[in-house]
A and B are shown apart, each in its own frame.
Chain A
Amino acid sequence: MTVKGSNGNNQGEQESTHLQGLVHSVFPRFHIVLCLVAIFLGVAYIVGNFVGWVMHSFAHEIGFALPSLLIGWPFQALLLIVIGYMNFKVGKAISKGEAQAYSSSLYMNIITVVILLTIGPLGLLPAIAFFILMLALFAPSVKSYWYKEFREDMGPRSKELKFSLHLLRRSPLVIAGIVIVAVYFSIALLAPWITPYGATERVWADAKLPPGTPSGEAKVSTRLISSNYSLDIGLYPDYYHGEIQISAGEVATSIPPIIAFSIYVRNTSLDSPVVVLIHTAVYRLDLTTFDTLDWGQRDPYLVSAGNKTTLFRSNIVVNNTPSTYVWVVWYTASTKTTPWMVEMILNLKYNQYYPIHYWGTDESGGDMFSRIIWAAGVDLRVSLSVVFVALASGAVIGAASGYFGGALDEIVMRITDIFFAFPGLILAMAIVMALGTRNLDNIAYALMITWWPTYARLVRGQVLSEREKLYVEAARSVGASDTRILVSHIIPNTVQPLIVQATMDTGGVLLTAAGLSFIGFGSAAGTAEWGLMISTGQYYLLNYPWMAMIPGLAILFAALAFNLVGDGIRDIMDPKIRRRG
């Protein structure tokens, strides 16, 4: 066994050194390129954003630019510079032939790609370039060496993972939570495709309809068939005509398509009136016998344009089958002494249907179902961004505070004490009030400021207990730097309670944000947002209870799902409960 094992290792080593040589010859000084690219992007990002910020501040009030300055780009730019520096170090390690450098470098570049993607559309190009370079460099090494090492490393971990999944399968509540969360995220992402109405779209005639009522106004898709414009038309009869093909996709509903003619007759001189006779028709031509089938026409109609523009409308219903029609508009002036003109717009109105308001409508005819689904995106974005920023900043502050201790720790802990002296919603309330503008962004900023101490405390406590453990001592004794110990040894061990806390807080932030929105800090009336919808619905509670009831259920289930998942993860990952049976 031992001989075999050592043989295998030797082989692996040889292979990997060979590969390193190969990689090195193909990409000489590759790490320097990576490092320069990342630093260049970071610096460009800082400069660009600073210029943008200065311009923005001169054009507007400083209060709007400030929050994005504080939390946005410096964070990303710093990360990019750090990644550049680390790439440099890792690259050096690779060229020296240290095998484990592969894996750290791989992680690093994955993070780089993610960061680049957060920059926006422009970040996509460098991200793709990075990704390709990464694959080119690391795929061979992963295959030959790293994967094997990884398998061996991950042996106990994958066993634990399997056990976790086994525990997960046995707890139906957690699975229910995960499913609900997944459903919420997918409906938030798919909102444009699954909602019949837009987020702020209203059908005034449908106001206050109970759940399940079909709309009184049909939804219809429109396609422009033709538009014509003729100036100073003579005395003689004239006509427009053309063909229209109705495809199978345009007869998907039970209501047949309509060919809608809108004809404007305009009297271009003010001298005397003009009276125009208009006749519209649609038919299908049987190409074997040249018979006209499905003849639909609007009788000749006199349009009188005194000294203005007059609109003549004609809607002709055609068969609900895909086929080709011929349309004709024939017109002439019956009395004419002045120049006149005709403008014609011809539309196909297809796929008409009466959408059902599954969850009723609100007081101004907004479809509750659509609005709640649109609001899912809005509310989830708020709570996720709050939790993400609070987690990131709180974890960094807490880790530093716990690891370095001393005066820093004391100061940070006193500051968190002060923040904990305010109930969350009330501090957030004061912050939004101070920021001046009432909208969801300011709610999010306020909640970020309110929420970070939770994570700082949590991470600090974890770091304090991990710091004294033997493995940290071991790492320090082989000369690992503080940063390395903190980043690659301590923080991974504090992740689990952080995940639990973050999951549960996503629900908590959702509730608090909705509460703030309910008492009037949210967006302008009419925005699709759950708290605001309940706030409006409360005035119609007695007669139209669904207006307040359904958005509340949406919040309840979302928060419940996050809590279930957080609870479940804690139970599954907690080593004390884990093996109990």
Chain B
Amino acid sequence: MKLRDFILRRIILAVPVVFGVLTITWFLSYVVGNPVAMFITERTSPAAIPGIIREHGFDQPLVIQYFLYLRSLLIGDWGTSYSTGGDRPVLEIIARKFPATIELAIVAMIFAVVLGIPLGILSATRKDKPADHVTRVFSLAGVSMPIFWFALMLKYVFFYQFSVWGLPYLPNGDRIDNELWKAVLNNGVGYDYTTSITGFVLVDSLLYGQPFLFWNAVLHLIMPGFCLGYLTLAIVTRMMRSSMLEVMKEDYITLARSKGLTERIVVYRHALRNALIPTVTVIGLAFGGLMTGAVLTETIFNWPGLGRWATGAILASDMAAINGFVLLVALVFVSANLIVDLAYGTLDPRIRFG
């Protein structure tokens, strides 16, 4: 099979999944739940409700409602969210808040990959030594850690206790110190969607030519980024360790060793590349875990992304927001899996031809 055919096949296979996702969200919010709630806000008068029912076709048969639902998704009418103050279209809020979540997820992923792969290698090359045991416990703890609790504890130690002890402490929450932003850039609004250029605070501060703001943003990212990345870090470490151990048993490693190559070259040149392949898949799949974690982490670190918005929506029973959020996360997750699949096929020709 050619690479092009492979890619096409994978994309076609993803189509029914996307439809399934749409169907499930439709089923949950339109059949099990009350769909009218998505279009009713605190300021809707009771007299307007029959109009809403007619307008959105909730008096139609379910099949027609389903197609109406697909249509409204396609034309960008995802309902109205009222939990963020003011009634706003869900899609608009998603567009504003998505970069914050993506930024956090990327930083978490960087933590996971940059720490996880070396730790996995360390653990595999020193199997059953103290370093291995420590790494294994560390990664097991990551898998068993309630992320919301971990976030609270990080905050307690690195923000509160460090400030009590007079040490340089990490910021409590938010993406950037707003007062600092106002003072440096003299624009009075602080950092939000009106003053951002790309939506990524790290990029924006550099675009404004302010390395000081950039450093501030980095400080703000450390705790939530590590907290969110810890689970992925643990998974990557474990996967790296086991695939490394698997690879080290292969014949070509024995051959490389018997050729008289140094252990370093054997590990990094021969073993690492092959051991990386399963790890790449795991990293892709961990993206779903990151989205889940974002809901909990953003709430605690007051991070103005999708997760915090979703939590607020849950507490306010804002159906439209939750529906939009679930749909978006599923679509992002499907595309992440697709990309990993394609990358996997590109990296490992055996997958393509198998």
Contacts and interface: CB of A to CB of B under 8 A. Distances in A.
Interface of A: 173, 414-415, 417-418, 421-427, 429-431, 433-436, 507, 511, 514-515, 518-521, 531, 534, 538, 541-542, 545, 548-549, 551-552, 555-556, 559-560, 562-564, 567
B233 interface: no
16 contacts: A414-B20, A421-B18, A421-B20, A421-B330, A430-B28, A434-B28, A434-B32, A507-B143, A515-B146, A519-B311, A541-B152, A549-B156, A552-B146, A552-B153, A560-B140, A560-B144
A402 B18 CA distance: 24
A93 B265 CA distance: 66
Contacts of B28: 430-431, 433-434
A556 B141 contact: yes
Nearest to A433: B322
B292 A424 contact: yes
Interface of B: 16-18, 20-21, 23-25, 28-29, 32-33, 137, 140-141, 143-150, 152-153, 155-156, 160, 288-289, 291-292, 295-296, 299-300, 310-311, 314-315, 317, 319, 322-323, 325-326, 329-330, 333-334, 337
Contacts of B18: 421
Nearest to A508: B143
A433 B33 contact: yes
A82 B36 CA distance: 45
A422 B28 CA distance: 13
Nearest to B18: A421
Contacts of A555: 146, 149
A453 to B, nearest CB: 12
A518 B330 contact: no
B291 A423 contact: yes
A429 B152 CA distance: 22
Contacts of B146: 511, 514-515, 518, 531, 534, 552, 555-556, 559
B300 A430 contact: no
Given A433-B33, A567-B140, A519 B149 contact: no
Contacts of A427: 24, 326
A418 B149 contact: no
B155 A519 contact: no
Contact of B141 (A422, A560, A562): A560
Contact of B314 (A418, A519, A542): A519
Contact of B140 (A414, A541, A563): A563
A515 B140 contact: no
By DSSP majority rule, is chain A's interface helix, strand, loop, or mixed? helix
A429 B140 contact: no
A560 B136 CA distance: 12
A371 to B, nearest CB: 16
Nearest to B33: A434
B26 to A, nearest CB: 11
A422 B21 contact: yes
B20 A429 contact: no
A418 B148 contact: no
Contacts of A433: 28-29, 33, 314, 317, 319, 322
Contact of B295 (A421, A425, A542): A425
A417 B20 contact: yes
A199 to B, nearest CB: 21
B12 to A, nearest CB: 13
B230 to A, nearest CB: 12
Most chain-A Cβ atoms within 10 A of its Cβ — which of B152, B296, B334?
B152
Contacts of B323: 430
A439 B315 CA distance: 14
A548 B152 contact: yes
A422 B326 contact: yes
A556 B145 contact: yes
B296 A515 contact: yes
A518 B148 CA distance: 8
A418 B20 contact: yes
Given A414-B17, A426-B295, A515-B146, A421 B156 contact: no
Contacts of A519: 148, 295-296, 299, 311, 314
Given A433-B322, A434-B29, A534-B149, A518 B140 contact: no
Contacts of B310: 429
A423 B333 contact: yes
B20 A415 contact: yes
A417 B319 CA distance: 25
Given A418-B20, A430-B323, A556-B141, A520 B314 contact: yes
Contacts of A435: 32
Contacts of A415: 20
Contacts of A560: 140-141, 144
